[in-house]
Amino acid sequence: MSSHREAPLISKDPAADNTDTYAFVTPGDTVTILTNYLPGELPAGGPNFYEFDDEVRYSIYVDNNGDGQPDVTYHFRFSTAITNPHTFLYNTGPIDSLTSANWNRRQRYRIEKVTAGGSTVLAHDVPTPPANIGPRSTPSYPNLASAAIRTLSSGEKVFAGQREEGFFVDLGSVFDLGTLRPFQNLHLLPTAAQPGVDALADANVQTIALQVPISHLTADGSVPTDPSGTNAVIGVWGAASRQRATVRDPGHANQTVGPWTQISRLGNPLFNEVIVPMSRKDAWNGSTPAGDSAFAGFVAQPELAKLLPVLYPGVFPNLAGLTADRADLLAILLTGIPAGIVPGFQNFTGTTQADMLRLNVAVPPASSPDRLGILGGDLAGFPNGRRVTDDVTTIELRAVAGLTYPLVDPSYTPDAAAGGVEDGTFATLDRNFLTTFPYLGHPHSGYLVP
Amino acid sequence: MGLTRRGFIVGGSAGAAAAGAAASGLLATGAARAADGAAATPQELERLTRPMLLHVRDAASGQVGVLVDEEELVFTDKALVARLARAVH
């Protein structure tokens, strides 16, 4: 999936598994950043419904000078409390507010901001909403979620809690030897073409949402209006860390101690999932973007680009003959797109190769977003940051298939299929994205979507 | 002099405690003091209110890590590692 269970170690630690990161310009000269955790939540998750882990430090990083190191960091730490020690239930009646006495297990969180100037606790004891249990337990769920949106005195808006999974992908087809629906009839082992199947259609996820004034994130504190300006681009990624040691003592809370050790990170969707070899994925999760030149070879010669002509005989002949390093992918994923490649746009951050979502904050939100982002002529979409509606699987699939290579070598002619191949789920996509913060839809109800 | 398990626990714990204190910035010469076998003072022990974990990172070289709070102090103490090795046999 985007980065769900994408590496061996983190696949066994879902509460720390950063599944998706989004960053996009929003009204009011703000940037909204979303980081998701806990892949594939079954809505009917009782009695212990899904929640953040008190032992994990969840982080959002922003680089504003192109060195792949964070210049602005937000850390989120959660704490969980049981209010009624005598019941096995998550709730003993309807939860009609965030202070309901019927709600037995609730989480609050603390937000710390770190810059070169030091560390500041922006807020503590910020409430999260309950899980969406069902119409009797969590009636008027949107009201509960709205009550958990807080605007801080420092200018940020925050939300942390359960959301409808925003990522969509035909996962079953991707990992069954790349039998992309609806193109199975062209596969090496063909079957009749069928529509795509969205593997995450009924899943929920835990979301940390942060809306920040642009001026808090740029290197010079400005709100850039010229997309060509070097101060207009920021790099964003999410990460989760645990302390180095945990001591378990039955009957007592775990004791954690030692330095924070990063175990998950995510900038561009699918980077660790389909580019980094399995033997290196855990190491990548523990590293920082500043060191990503060590992985650039896997971008320059992506395994998937070699597989497509084999899996689809005769469909990608030009891609099969493309042996040069993929300068297009190196730019899109590791340095940003320089000026002069896409008219009116750049998100180049310099020569440091670093996997980050690069967002040109001078590009205003699109009035009619195109799911293909820049490939569809919409400069406000992926790979200019990433919005919740961007069809990132199709965009990256087409790029790897050679559609973007003419940007760096005009003599190359992409295969016709490179412009047509796609993840087959968008045509029947059923998501309830919001038009306002936190943009991801309200979570599926456990009662209604077991 | 022979080393008893009880003797190790008493001596080893004191050494580890001193190292932990150093990690917290409580001792100016933390690593050296941890290595010289000096027992922690009551004041030092009193300030160790958080869990602390000792990790033998490399037995051959005597490299030891002490995890305390959000830090790790790494130092070399072959004598401490030797006491540990004898105690677990």
pLDDT confidence of residue B8: 37
Contacts by B78-87 with C-beta closer than 8 Å and gap 24+? B79/B35, B79/B37, B80/B12, B80/B15, B80/B16, B80/B34, B80/B35, B81/B56, B83/B3, B83/B8, B83/B11, B83/B12, B84/B8, B84/B12, B84/B56, B85/B59, B86/B3, B86/B8, B87/B3, B87/B5, B87/B8, B87/B9, B87/B12
Tokens at A213, concatenated: 């004034």
**Mean of the pLDDT values across residues A168-185?**
92
Indicate yes or no: CB of A260 within 8 angstroms of CB of B53: no
Residues 197-256 of A with CB under 8 A from B: 243-245, 247, 255-256
Closest residue of chain A to B67, computed from CA coordinates = A258
Helix B5-23 / helix B78-87 crossing angle, nearest 10 deg:
140
- Residue B42 is part of which domain span? 5-87
DSSP A342: B
Tokens of residue A365, six digits: 């939100």
Q: What is the pLDDT of residue A213?
A: 98
Type of residue numbered A351: T
Q: How far apart are the first and last CA of chain B?
A: 17
Minimal C-alpha gap between A244 and chain B (Å): 8
Tell me, what's the pLDDT at B36?
55
Say what the pLDDT of residue A233 is: 98
pTM: 0.92
Q: Which residues, including other chains, have CB under 8 Å from residue A250's CB and lie 6 or more apart?
A: none
Measured CA to CA, the distance from residue B73 to residue B31 in angstroms comes to 8
Count contacts between A and B (CB, < 8 Å). Answer: 29
Residues of A in contact with B72 (CB under 8 A): 244, 258-259
Whole-number Å distance between alpha carbons of A362 and A218: 11
pLDDT of res. B13: 42
Reported as a single tens digit per residue, the pLDDT across A35-54 is: 999 999 999 999 999 999 99
Q: What is the C-alpha to C-alpha distance for residues B66 and A382, in angstroms, rounded to an integer?
A: 45
Q: Which chain A positions have a beta carbon within 8 Å of B55's beta carbon?
A: 245
3-state secondary structure of B78: helix
pLDDT single digits (tens) A320-355: 999 999 999 999 999 999 999 999 999 999 999 999
- The verdict on a CB contact (< 8 Å) between A257 and B50 is yes
Average pLDDT over residues A62-75: 98
Distance CA A220, CA A228 (A): 15
Q: Give contacts of B50 with chain A, Cβ < 8 Å.
A: 257
Q: How far is A245 from chain B (nearest CA, A)?
A: 8
Judge if ipTM > 0.95.
no
Helix (H) or strand (E) holding A21: strand A18-26
Strands A233-247 and A255-266: antiparallel
All residues at 6 or more sequence positions from A55 whose CB lies less than 8 Å from its CB, including other chains = A242, A243, A246, A254, A256
Alpha carbon of A253: minimum distance to chain B alpha carbons (Å): 12
User: Are A447 and A139 within 8 A, CB to CB?
Assistant: no
The per-residue pLDDT for range B7-53, each reduced to its tens digit, is 433 444 444 444 444 444 433 344 445 555 678 888 777 767 778 89
By C-alpha distance, the chain A residue nearest B24 is A258
Specify the DSSP element, H or E, that contains A34: strand A30-41
Q: Please, where are the H alpha helices in A312-418? A: 317-320, 327-330, 392-400
Q: What is the mean pLDDT of chain A?
A: 96
CB B30 within 8 A of CB B73: yes
Contact A247 B69 (CB under 8 A): no
Percentages (nearest 5) of helix, strand, coil residues in chain B: 45, 20, 35
Measured distance CA(A110)–CA(A122) in Å, rounded: 8
Taking contacts as CB-CB distances below 8 angstroms, the residues of chain B near A243 are 67, 70
Mean pLDDT throughout A267-277?
Answer: 95
**In A214-333, beta strands by DSSP E:** 233-247, 255-266
pLDDT at A120 over 80: yes
| Whole-number Å distance between alpha carbons of A162 and A51 | 8
- Please classify residue A148 by burial: count the beta carbons closer than 10 Å to its beta carbon, then call 0-12 exposed, 13-18 middle and 19+ buried: middle
Which residue of A257, A260, A261 to mutate against B (max B Cβ within 10 Å)?
A257
Residue A20 · residue A5 · CB < 8 Å: no
- The CA distance from B7 to the nearest CA of chain A, in Å, is 24
Model pLDDT, residue A394:
96
Choose from B50, B53, B74 for mutation: most chain A CBs within 10 A: B53
Q: Which residue in A has a C-alpha nearest to residue B50's C-alpha?
A: A257
Is B58's Cβ below 8 Å from some Cβ in A? no
| A54: phi then psi, degrees, rounded to nearest 5 | -60, -20
Angle at A438 (CA atoms; ends A437, A439), nearest 5 degrees: 85
Contact B68 A244 (CB under 8 A): no
Mutation target to probe the A interface, by most A beta carbons within 10 A, among B67, B69, B71, B74 is B67
Distance of alpha carbon A181 from alpha carbon A172, whole angstroms:
9
pLDDT confidence of residue B22: 41
- Enter the tokens of residue B63: 């490299």
- The label of the residue with tokens 């917290």 reads B24
- How many angstroms away from the CA of B25 is the closest CA of chain A? 15
Facing B72 at nearest CB: one of A247, A256, A258: A258
Quick one: closest CA in B to A246, which residue?
B53
Helix (H) or strand (E) holding A110: strand A105-115
Does B51 sit within 8 Å of A244, measured CB to CB? no
Q: Could you say which residues from 65 to 84 on chain B have a Cβ atom under 8 Å away from some Cβ of chain A? A: 67-72
Residue A183 tokens read as 């193109």
User: E strands within chain B?
Assistant: 52-58, 63-68, 71-76
* Residues in chain B within 8 Å Cβ distance of A252: none
- Residues from chain A that touch B71, judged by Cβ atoms under 8 A, are 258-259
Domain count, chain B: 1
- Rounded (10°) CA dihedral B13, B74, B48, A119: -170
Domain boundaries, given as residue ranges, for chain A: 10-428
Q: Quick one: pLDDT at residue A378?
A: 98
User: What's the full length of chain A, in residues?
Assistant: 450
Cβ pair A244:B52 closer than 8 A: no
**A258 and B50: CB-CB below 8 Å?**
no
Which chain B residues are within 8 Å of A55, Cβ to Cβ? none
